[in-house]
Amino acid sequence: MLRTGFIADVKAYISFTAADIELLMSLAKRHYDYKCKAAGECGGFIYGLNNQLIFARAQGTAQPVILDAWSFGECDRAAKICEYANYEKDQLVVTAASCIYMKMLDTCRAIEAERKRLNSQY
């Protein structure tokens, strides 16, 4: 065996408001795809984000902003979850989800660019 190098696994630090988290949880729970649904269930990455929000509120934080590191796959899945909002009747929900969707796609592009930069030798 011979180690020939290293490859970086890139994650992006993303800040989420309580409204972002609540919307993602709501959409994930009702999503048709089981992987998207699982993201909002116990053990899922959005469920974990919601736990952080619950803990921040329990500590008395009035307007918590939660910071979490997400991979390309998590950002991509969150974007897919936001696509489900197109079935909503409430235009405010559609608009908020569209905003998160665009930010997730932008973050996916940024993660991929950074991954390529860091791993350019491979």
78 lies in which domain range?
13-118
Looking up tokens 């665009």, which residue turns up?
102
Residue 63 belongs to some domain of the structure: yes
Q: How many domains does the chain have?
A: 1
User: What is the reported pLDDT for 86?
Assistant: 82
User: 49, 43 in Cβ contact below 8 A?
Assistant: no
* Within-domain flag for 2: no
3: left (phi over 0), alpha (psi -120 to 50) or beta: beta
The answer to whether the predicted template modeling score (pTM) of the entire model surpasses 0.95 is no
Confidence band of 122 (pLDDT split at 50, 70, 90): low
Query: Could you report the per-residue pLDDT of 88-105, keeping only the tens digit for each?
Result: 888 999 999 999 999 999
CB-based contact 103:45 (threshold 8 Å) = no
Comparing 36 with 62, the larger pLDDT belongs to 36
**Residue 8 covered by a domain:** no
Q: Which long-range contacts (CB under 8 A, 24 or more apart) does 38-41 make?
A: 39/74, 39/77, 39/78, 39/81, 40/81
In a domain, 5, yes or no: no
